[in-house]
């Protein structure tokens, strides 16, 4: 006698629906794209910061970069943020960091730039 239960009560394919792969991919892509836009691309209504800006400020806080202390290099902040909070590459972090110090980018600059800080490609 076989150990496999072939009765209709234990059918592993029960509840599985056939779907068109193109329709499923379109819907899944749209769902993912909307979640990325809502979670990353749009600033938060509470404070106006995107997640990368919030991570930069927190990384600066963790490394004791404060208004009453001396300036530090951008690479220090970028390395801290990339190492602990934002493992997506340094260019996005650096561009957001520069933007946070430009008076023409934000109403109130969040960091005090120093040196050759204004120009990004």
Give pLDDT tens digits along the chain (121 positions).
Answer: 556 655 556 777 778 888 899 999 999 999 999 988 887 778 888 888 888 899 999 999 999 999 899 888 888 999 999 999 877 788 989 999 998 988 888 888 889 888 776 655 5
**Spans of all domains in the chain:** 20-46, 50-121
Residues 6+ apart with CB under 8 A from 50: 40, 41, 42, 43, 44, 96
């Amino acid at each position: 006698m076989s150990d496999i239960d072939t009765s209709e009560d234990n059918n592993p394919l029960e509840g599985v629906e056939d779907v068109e792969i193109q329709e499923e991919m379109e819907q899944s892509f749209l769902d993912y794209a909307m979640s990325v836009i809502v979670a990353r691309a749009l600033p938060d209504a509470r404070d106006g910061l995107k997640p990368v800006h919030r991570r930069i400020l927190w990384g600066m806080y963790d490394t004791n970069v404060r208004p009453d202390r001396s300036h530090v290099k951008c690479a220090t902040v970028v390395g801290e943020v990339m190492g602990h909070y934002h493992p997506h590459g340094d260019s996005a972090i650096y561009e957001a960091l520069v933007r946070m110090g430009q008076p023409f980018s934000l109403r109130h600059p969040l960091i005090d730039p120093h040196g050759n800080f204004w120009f990004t490609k």
